[in-house]
Copies of this chain bind each other. A is one copy, B any other.
Amino acid sequence: MAKRIYFFGGGQADGDGTQKPLLGGKGAGLHEMTRLGIPVPPGFTITTEVCTAFFASGERIPEGLLDDARAAIRRVEEIVGTRFGDPENPLLVSVRSGARASMPGMMDTILNLGLNESIVAGLGARTQNPRFALDAYRRFIVTYADVVLGIHRKRFDDALEIARRKAAAARGMAEAQRLTVAELQRKLPDSMFDEETLRSLVKEQRRIVQEATGAPFPDDPWAQLEGAIASVFRSWNNNRAKTYRKMHDIPEAWGTACNVQAMVFGNLGEDSGTGVAFTRDPSTGEKRFFGEWLPNAQGEDVVAGVRTPNPIAKEQGNDEGSLEVRMPEAYAELVRTQERLEKHFRDMQDLEFTVQSGKLYLLQTRNGKRTGRAGVRIAVEMAKEGLIDQREAVMRVDPASIEQLLHPTIDPKAPKKLLARGLPASPGAASGQVVFHADEAERKAAQGLPVILVRAETSPEDIHGMKAANGILTARGGMTSHAAVVARGMGKCCVAGCSAVAVSYETATMTVTIYDELGRPTDTVSVKGGDVITLDGASGSVYLGAIPTAPAALSSEYEELMRWADTARRLKVLANADTGADARTARSYGAEGIGLCRTEHMFFDDKRIAAVREMILARDVDARKAALAKLLPYQREDFTAIFQEMSGLPVTIRLLDPPLHEFLPQERKQIEDLAATMKVRPADLVRKVEELHELNPMLGHRGCRLGVTFPEINEMQARAIFEAACDVAERGSGAQDAEGDPKPRASNGAPPKLEIMIPLAMTRKELALAKATIERVASEVFAEKGRSVSYLFGTMIELPRAALRASELAEEAEFFSFGTNDLTQTTMGISRDDAGKFLGAYVEAAILPKDPFTSLDTEGVGELVAIACERGRKTRPNLELGVCGEHGGDPSSIRFFERVKLDYVSCSPLRVPIARLAAAQAALAEGAATTLQTTA
């Protein structure tokens, strides 16, 4: 049988800091600190394996475990010199949960265990502090009754308040009866209760327990211990803990350890105290010892917030309350200890300590939580200090936390009224007037008014309004809905799929249903156009009114960390960008090119949409060509702007992808206007619009299928691309000729590395057809321009069939770009626009580990990616492989892309830094990085 109990104490420990899976984080820390000779009260850890066995056997404590615990308690007694259950000289213990990963406050802890009436009396006598003993007892009863016996804490709170009022009356506090509970609590805090009050409170508490359970409160310390251990294990599966695990991807199977440890008391008098501390500032990352403490208190008092804690170190304004001033010796030892611990664990530590009658004890150490900003600074400074190497600094920072550095954030301290919560679709924070139409957004924004565009869902017709708005709120759609994808592309704050919101365009109102904690609707709030709301794109929260925000700011430590990451990573990081402005943003965030330039967004501009519609509604090829000819100069202009920004870098242009009906007006009025413009009968136009309507547009007439039926579109786009590329190359070479006088925008003068990409292919022949058209147009343009540019021809892999037939596709394609959004949709049969109705339930029920549009389904979609890589490379060993779906910016997906050895990932500009860091971590984890400094 595996060892079930690990002892620590007296400078020796059975376990060590590496054994988090078995001993939990807290346990491993206690064992390690004990080994280091740091003063830790002795105790023992019951392993997580016992927890697993406990659940496997229907919540029964394994046979023999309590005997082992009894033996371990004996060893504690020897070290401490007290005895468990001995009224003369009692040992009290704490019983605490502690899982592999920190789950703060989610599971149960019981302090002061081992008391009963006679032991309280003995403890009071021995400490010469009967009030302290009684106080410990009444705290223990409440916690034990709540945690182990399942009696609601409220009943004890009521008894406490009655006792407080009695005590106040006894003290002649005449006004006591008029005060509120909170006012009275401040006037007469628990710490001022006298023995008499505490004694009668304990009596009342024991009565409550008797009444609730039909049995007396357990007086046998060993029975108490057994109940506490079972409850700690059981608390692994309480609802809070389960929810927390879901949020943080902690597996159900891990289980918690249980730590039983001798109590030390911070509330034995004014030479005692308790506190928490961080070895560096967890908000800013600054290297300073930082923490709070309370004299004459137990740990829970610090958390309760009734008393305001003092700083540990001297600080402007509160020097005399500091531990440094009040207990200089204990403080000096704490500073030495924290330095040792940070050095030992090589990370910022979060400490809990207690000073009992002037002697310092450490109760916990763990790696401290920190903000994104602090995480970056700590990692970089520790590397510079030589505490860790650059490799470890890169690995330390959660790529997702980088996002906080790039966006404005809501002021956490500002008062705010939460209206509703949607999906955190695109980070950042924004306030503005509610508007319901794109045109209105544009109009108001032009007047300098900040606006939030609110829509049931957005469509490409809303793009100009989204551009104009400070933020976007939609009632429907998931993390990869149109609104979410476009907003992320624009780096604009967006809350999507906010189902509590019902939008009425007629009345220009959004009606928000307010839910209580249990998800029951309690009220509705009506928000009119013009009312101000604030969005928090990082959390998905929607607030009423304008909430102050803090702007984004990138630190020098960030720049340094990214340099290290760039050295380490193998994957290139490109950006999805559709305009010159997007391209500039992308480069500013470190993008090494454009992995996806969607040409369709260019079509929605006011000046162009008429020609686009003319093209779509054309009666024959000639009319279609005439309309396309009008679009050509616009497209060429777009490409020229992008190519200039991306001189010398790859630019991957996807030919027209969406179904054509997306470009047509859907509302009666708009159709009539268009009919008038086009000089056709509205009825004919309605019929044409209806004809183009599709039941499942995602699986419809789009992508390269458009090029098969309307090759003229590909022709026009290819012409625009090649003309623009030749023009940029021309200017670049001109700049080189005119020595010393380069034109201002020509950068280094090189043309971009052009890649032309065919969407939605599933057969070799589709590619062959498109390639023939493109090659023909290329040779025409090159002949006209008298110069040529080189380019690659490739395809997106967005359909399972394309992945399966990759070996054939690679006969035509020189690169593959995985469109993992669509590949996820087709492989899993989930429409990203409609998934909101059930995907939540799927993640809730752990059917799927995560939203597969956020984090790649490596088992299903991933297998197709791997198949396509393997088959494609077999046909064409130098096939270029990349991904341009949303997953290109997701750290866990990037890890997978490193594993299958893609050449690059491409993501929205604002995720480029995240991708750079994640790619570095993936390279380091997969052993693909070799160049980064790996010794301190």
Interface of A toward B, CB cutoff 8 Å? 502, 687, 694-701, 703, 705, 708-709, 760, 762-763, 765-766, 769, 798-801, 804-805, 822, 825-831, 833-835, 837-838, 841-842, 845-848, 857, 859-861, 863-864
Chain B contacts of A766 at CB under 8 A?
A: 847
Q: Are A700 and B502 in contact (CB under 8 A)?
A: no
Nearest 3 A-B pairs (CB), nearest first? A699-B831, A801-B860, A696-B831
Complex Cα gap A377–B833 (Å): 56
User: Shortest beta-carbon distance, A457 to chain B, in Å?
Assistant: 8
Bound Cα distance A800, B762 (Å): 14
* Bound Cα distance from A411 to B703, whole angstroms: 44
Give every chain B residue within 8 A of A838 (Cβ-Cβ). 701, 705, 708-709
CA distance A845 to B708 in the complex (A): 9
| Residues B502 and A687 in contact, CB atoms below 8 Å apart | yes
21 contacts between A and B (CB under 8 A): A694-B834, A695-B698, A696-B697, A696-B825, A696-B833, A696-B834, A698-B831, A699-B831, A701-B834, A701-B838, A705-B838, A762-B828, A762-B829, A762-B860, A766-B847, A800-B860, A800-B864, A801-B829, A801-B857, A801-B860, A804-B863
Contact B822 A801 (CB under 8 A): no
* B827–A799 CB distance below 8 A: yes
Partner pick for A861 among B801, B841, B847, B861, CB 8 A cutoff: B801
A845 and B838 alpha carbons, distance in the complex (Å)? 40
Docked Cα-Cα span, A37 to B209, in Å, equals 115
A825 to chain B, nearest CB (A): 6
| Chain B residues whose CB sits within 8 angstroms of the CB of A831 once the complex forms | 694-700
| Distance in angstroms between the alpha carbons of A801 and B847 in the assembled complex | 14
A834 to B760, CA, bound (A): 16
Give the interface centre of A705, A709, A766, A846 by most chain B CB atoms within 10 Å. A705
Closest to A768 in B: B847
Q: Name the B residues within 8 Å of A799 (CB-CB).
A: 827-829
A515 to chain B, nearest CB (A): 14
Closest B residue to A860 using CB positions: B801
Task: Give the distance in Å from the alpha carbon of A825 to the alpha carbon of B863 in the complex.
Answer: 19
Most central of A705, A800, A835, A847 by chain B CB within 10 Å:
A800
The contact of A798 among B700, B829, B860, B864, by CB within 8 Å, is: B829
Contact B837 A701 (CB under 8 A): yes
Provide the residues of chain B in CB contact with A687, threshold 8 Å. Answer: 502
**In the complex, what residue of chain B is closest to A828 when comparing beta carbons?**
B801
Could you say which residues of chain B place their CB within 8 Å of the CB of A709? Answer: 837-838, 841
Q: Are A827 and B826 in contact (CB under 8 A)?
A: yes
CA–CA, A826 and B762, complex, Å: 12
In whole angstroms, how far apart are the Cα atoms of A391 and B637 in the complex?
Answer: 69
Task: Report the copy number of this chain in the oligomer.
Answer: 2
Q: Which residues of B contact A696 (CB under 8 A)?
A: 696-699, 825, 831, 833-834
Identify the closest chain B residue to A840 (Cβ): B709
A848 to B766, CA, bound (A): 10
Asked if A827 and B845 sit within 8 Å, CB to CB, the answer is no
A539 to chain B, nearest CB (A): 24
Which residues of B have CB within 8 Å of A699? 696, 698-699, 825-826, 829-831, 834
Inter-chain CA distance A459–B826, complex, in Å, is 23
Chain B residues whose C-beta falls within 8 Å of the C-beta of A708 in the assembled complex:
838, 841-842, 845, 847
A841→B704 CA distance, assembly (Å): 12
A830-B766 Cα distance, complex, nearest whole Å: 14
Name the residue of chain B whose CB is nearest to the CB of A696. Answer: B831
A736 nearest CB across to chain B (Å)? 45
User: A457 — nearest CB in chain B belongs to which residue?
Assistant: B695
Q: How long is the Cα–Cα vector from A834 to B698 in the complex, in angstroms?
A: 10
Chain B residue at minimum C-beta to C-beta distance from A481: B695
A668 to B23, CA, bound (A): 64
Which chain B residue has the least Cβ–Cβ distance from A848?
Answer: B763
Whether the Cβ atoms of A846 and B762 lie closer than 8 Å is no
Partner of A695, one of B502, B798, B833: B833
- B contact residues around A825 at 8 Å (CB): 696, 699
Q: 15 more A-B contacts (CB under 8 A) besides A695-B697, A805-B859?
A: A695-B834, A696-B698, A699-B831, A705-B838, A708-B838, A762-B828, A800-B827, A800-B828, A800-B860, A800-B864, A801-B827, A801-B828, A801-B829, A804-B859, A822-B829
**Which residues of B sit under 8 angstroms from A830, Cβ to Cβ?**
699
Which residues of B sit under 8 angstroms from A763, Cβ to Cβ? 847-848
Q: Are A700 and B834 in contact (CB under 8 A)?
A: yes
Task: Write the nearest CB–CB distance from A758 to chain B, whole angstroms.
Answer: 13
Smallest Cβ distance from A25 to chain B, in angstroms?
29
Contact A834 B697 (CB under 8 A): yes
Query: In the complex, what residues of B have CB within 8 A of residue A833's CB?
Result: 694-696
Query: Within the assembled complex, what's the spacing in Å between the Cα atoms of A805 and B798?
Result: 19
Residues of chain B contacted by A801 (CB below 8 angstroms) = 827-829, 857, 860-861
Known contacts A695-B834, A829-B801, A837-B700; A765 and B705 CB within 8 A of each other = no
Q: Which residues of B contact A847 (CB under 8 A)?
A: 708, 763, 765-766, 769
Nearest CB of B to A115, in Å? 46
Bound CA span A833–B834, Å? 18
Compute how far the CA of A708 lies from the CA of B842 in the bound complex, rounded to whole angstroms: 8
CA–CA, A846 to B765, complex, Å? 8
Complex CA distance for A766 and B838, rounded to whole angstroms:
12
CA–CA, A705 and B765, complex, Å: 36
- Chain B contacts for A700, CB-based, 8 A: 831, 834-835, 837
Residue of B nearest to A845 (CB): B708
Q: How far is the CA of A700 from the CA of B697 in the complex (A)?
A: 13
Inter-chain CA distance A821–B18, complex, in Å, is 53
Enumerate chain B residues within 8 angstroms of A765, measured Cβ to Cβ.
845-847
- Contact, CB under 8 Å: B860 / A804: yes
In Å, the complex CA distance between A165 and B699 comes to 64
In the complex, A368 Cα to B859 Cα: how many Å?
A: 54
A835 to B696, CA, bound (A): 10
Say how far A251's CB is from chain B's closest CB, in angstroms.
Answer: 15
Contacts of A703 in B (CB 8 A): 829
Give the CA-CA distance A833 to B695 in the complex, in Å.
7
Q: Which residues of B contact A705 (CB under 8 A)?
A: 838, 842
Q: Indicate if the CB atoms of B829 and A860 lie closer than 8 Å.
A: no
CA distance A801 to B859 in the complex (A): 8
Residues of chain B within 8 A of A859, CB atoms compared: 804-805
Q: Once the chains are docked, how many angstroms separate the CA of A765 from the CA of B844?
A: 12
* Complex contacts, A822 vs chain B, CB 8 Å: 829
Task: Give the complex CA separation of A270 and B762 in angstroms.
Answer: 64
Q: What's the Cα separation between A932 and B762 when bound, in Å?
A: 42
In the assembly, what is the distance between CA of A825 and CA of B699, in Å? Answer: 7
Instruction: Report which residue of A825, A837, A861 has the largest number of chain B beta carbons within 10 angstroms of its beta carbon.
Output: A837
What chain B residues lie within 8 Å of A829 (beta carbons)? 698-699, 703, 760, 762, 798-799, 801, 822, 826
- Looking at the assembled complex, report how far the CB atom of A799 sits from the nearest CB atom of chain B, in whole angstroms: 4
A860 & B805 in contact (Cβ 8 Å cutoff) = yes
A694 / chain B contacts, CB cutoff of 8 Å: 831, 833-834
| Residues in B whose Cβ lies below 8 Å from that of A861 | 801
The distance from the CB of A747 to the nearest CB of chain B, in whole angstroms, is 39
Residues of B within 8 A of A697 (CB): 695-696, 831, 834
Give Cα distance in the complex from A841 to B830, angstroms: 27
A841 vs B766: C-alpha distance in the bound complex, in angstroms?
11
**A834 — which chain B residues lie within 8 A by C-beta?**
694-697, 699-701
Residues of B within 8 A of A698 (CB): 695-696, 699, 829, 831
Q: Tell me how far the C-beta of A598 lies from the nearest C-beta in chain B, rounded to whole angstroms.
A: 18
Beta-carbon nearest neighbor of A808 in chain B: B859
Q: Once the chains are docked, how many angstroms separate the CA of A848 from the CA of B763?
A: 8
Considering the chains assembled together, what is the distance between the CA atoms of A196 and B829 in angstroms?
79
State the CA gap A264–B304 with chains docked (Å).
116
A804-B864 in contact given A698-B695, A701-B834, A826-B827 (Cβ < 8 Å): yes
